[in-house]
């Protein structure tokens, strides 16, 4: 058994691709919170039992069933795996083969059995943003966080000279104002309560300036999004200071009661929504103004992918179209029942075509974006897949 705490690579996908009969694929939502681990273990054991029962009822012999049980037992007995959970598990089991991926993004609970592993959800992890910065900002304190694709959000070290909270900022401003207005004689000249809105604004902007300096050092190309968790008026004051082309998302609400695990959870949820919004906007742009550069027919997409003509493939990971794909020519042969069957008309076993095409696109230098069709308007999405081409077709 191999446990992966890194995002899957092209080599990993190649290992999982192809026939692995009988194959079990399990996707399970988990949690880094200790109290929720038992629920995840029970859910995975139940998924295994259901999958093995299905395979037994499909006619698998006793040796295959025993081999699958042995792989199941190894997964359930691995204490290091269950002690280091993130937000999802992707488990791929066949006789004598087990790969487990511990992933930071939330996946949909699912069980699949067949001759091939179902890889659509696994492709979500490397195809979408899984890294983010976050600011938690309140009158009581503020912090800057960094969540990595393979690690939960952690606080970043900050300059100790920065104001720690609103009162700290107010006291510093009062001292500065005292010196400016009275030349050091102690006449502050302005009631502190009257200046509270001004202090809120000053505090938020000082925090914003400090954040931009830190992010410029860690991510100078501004590729990683920033989420700002704060209540008004601090949220607006901070966002007014946003610059440098970075994607910045404000999240309304006080963050004081959020611990590290809750911040990571909120951050992953916000990242998922950002990915959906960006996919929706990109697909709307394609639908509105890319005549000749969009292909929706799977057979045509397969051929174009083999030719390296696909710039970006979008596919709905919640759907499956079964068949076989020739990786040299891109030719597709669909399974029976218009791609819904498990085998070709001659009896050869078939797998899900969408991840196969996605991996071919990646191998030819293109990009892949997984979407959930239900998240997108019908006007811009009529799945199961859409290819943005490198050049317009004549």
**DSSP secondary structure string for all residues of 251-265:** EES--TT--HHHHHH
Stated as kind and residue range, the H or E segment containing 323 is strand 322-325
The CATH 3.30.1330.30 domain(s) of the chain lie at 291-389
SS3 180: helix
The token pair at 291 is: 């005549």
Q: What class has domain 132-179+193-282?
A: alpha beta
- Contact (CB, 8 A) for 86 and 103: yes
Higher pLDDT, 52 or 372: 52
Lowest-pLDDT range, 76-80, 259-263, 284-288, 305-309?
A: 284-288
Lowest-pLDDT range, 40-49, 53-62, 278-287, 372-381?
A: 372-381
Q: Where does residue 213 fall: left (phi above 0), alpha (psi -120 to 50 degrees), or beta otherwise?
A: alpha
Residue 76: pLDDT band with limits 50, 70, 90: very high
- Contact (CB, 8 A) for 247 and 225: yes
Where are the extended beta strands (E) located within 85-231?
A: 88-94, 97-103, 110-116, 132-137, 142-148, 151-155, 226-230
Look at the chain and count its residues: 394
The CATH 3.30.420.60 domain(s) of the chain lie at 132-179+193-282
Question: Residues 154-158: what's their mean pLDDT?
Answer: 92
Over 50: is that where the pLDDT of 2 sits? yes
pLDDT, residue 380, reads 66
pLDDT, residue 291, reads 63
Backbone angles phi, psi at 146, to 5 degrees: -135, 120
The token pair at 187 is: 């006449």
The tens digit of pLDDT for each residue in 214-233 reads: 999 999 999 999 999 999 99
Higher pLDDT, 35 or 157: 157
**DSSP secondary structure string for all residues of 356-384:** HHHHHHHHTT-EEEEE-GGGS-TTT--SS
CATH superfamily ID and name for 291-389 = Ribosomal protein L30/S12 (3.30.1330.30)
Higher pLDDT, 114 or 105: 114
pLDDT, residue 104, reads 82
Distances (CA, A) of 78 to 1, 41, 73, 102, 238: 10, 11, 9, 13, 45
Select the CATH number that applies to the domain covering 2-124 from these four: 3.60.70, 3.30.960, 3.30.70, 2.60.40. Answer: 3.30.960
* pTM of the shown model: 0.78
Spell 239-270 as b/e; 16+ CB within 10 A means b: eebbeeebebbbbeeebeebeeeebbbbbbeb
Rounded Cα–Cα distance for residues 302 and 392 (Å):
16
The tens digit of pLDDT for each residue in 157-188 reads: 988 888 888 888 777 765 554 344 444 444 44
The tens digit of pLDDT for each residue in 235-271 reads: 999 999 877 789 999 999 989 888 888 898 899 889 9
The token pair at 381 is: 């999405």
Question: Residues 272-295: what's their mean pLDDT?
Answer: 81
The CATH 3.30.960 domain(s) of the chain lie at 2-124
Give the sheet arrangement for strand 322-325, strand by strand: 332-334, 322-325, 351-352
Question: Residues 42-50: what's their mean pLDDT?
Answer: 96
Of the candidates 61, 116, 123, 110, which has an alpha carbon nearest to the alpha carbon of residue 93? 116
- Contact (CB, 8 A) for 286 and 389: no
- pLDDT, averaged across the chain: 87
Highest mean pLDDT of the ranges 118-127, 326-335, 374-383: 326-335
- Contact (CB, 8 A) for 153 and 131: no
């Amino acid at each position: 058994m191999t446990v992966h705490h890194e995002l899957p690579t092209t080599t990993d996908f190649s290992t999982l691709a192809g026939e692995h009969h009988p194959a079990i694929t399990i996707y399970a939502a988990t949690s880094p919170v200790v109290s929720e681990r038992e629920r995840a273990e029970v859910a995975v054991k139940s998924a295994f039992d259901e999958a093995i029962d299905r395979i037994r009822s499909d006619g698998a012999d006793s040796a295959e069933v025993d081999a699958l049980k042995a792989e199941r037992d190894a997964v359930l007995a691995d204490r290091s795996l269950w002690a280091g959970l993130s937000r999802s598990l992707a488990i791929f089991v066949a006789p004598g083969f087990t790969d487990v991926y511990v992933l930071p993004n939330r996946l949909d609970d699912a069980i699949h059995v067949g001759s091939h592993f179902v890889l659509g959800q696994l492709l979500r992890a490397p195809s979408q943003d899984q890294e983010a910065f976050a600011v938690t900002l309140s009158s009581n304190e503020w912090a800057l966080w960094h969540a990595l694709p393979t690690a939960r959000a952690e606080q970043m070290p900050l300059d100790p000279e920065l104001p720690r909270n609103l009162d700290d900022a107010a006291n510093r401003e009062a001292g500065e104002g005292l010196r400016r207005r009275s030349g050091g004689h102690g006449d502050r000249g302005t009631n502190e309560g009257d200046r509270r809105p001004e202090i809120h604004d000053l505090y938020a902007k000082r925090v914003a300036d400090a954040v931009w300096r830190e992010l410029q050092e860690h991510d100078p190309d501004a590729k990683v999004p920033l989420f700002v968790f704060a209540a008004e008026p601090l949220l607006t004051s901070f966002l007014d200071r946003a610059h440098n082309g970075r994607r910045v998302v404000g999240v309304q609400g006080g963050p004081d009661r959020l611990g590290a695990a809750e911040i990571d959870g909120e951050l992953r949820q916000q990242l998922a929504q950002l990915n959906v919004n960006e996919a929706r906007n990109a697909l709307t742009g394609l639908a509105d103004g890319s005549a000749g550069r969009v292909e929706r027919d799977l057979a045509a997409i397969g051929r174009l992918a083999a030719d390296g003509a696909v710039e970006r493939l979008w596919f709905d990971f919640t759907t499956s179209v079964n068949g076989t794909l020739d990786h040299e020519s891109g030719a597709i042969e669909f399974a029976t029942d218009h791609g819904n069957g498990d085998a070709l008309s001659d009896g050869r076993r078939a797998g899900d075509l969408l991840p196969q095409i996605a991996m071919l696109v990646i191998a030819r230098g293109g990009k892949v974006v997984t979407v959930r069709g239900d998240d997108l308007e019908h006007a811009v999405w009529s799945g199961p897949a859409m290819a943005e081409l490198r050049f317009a077709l004549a």
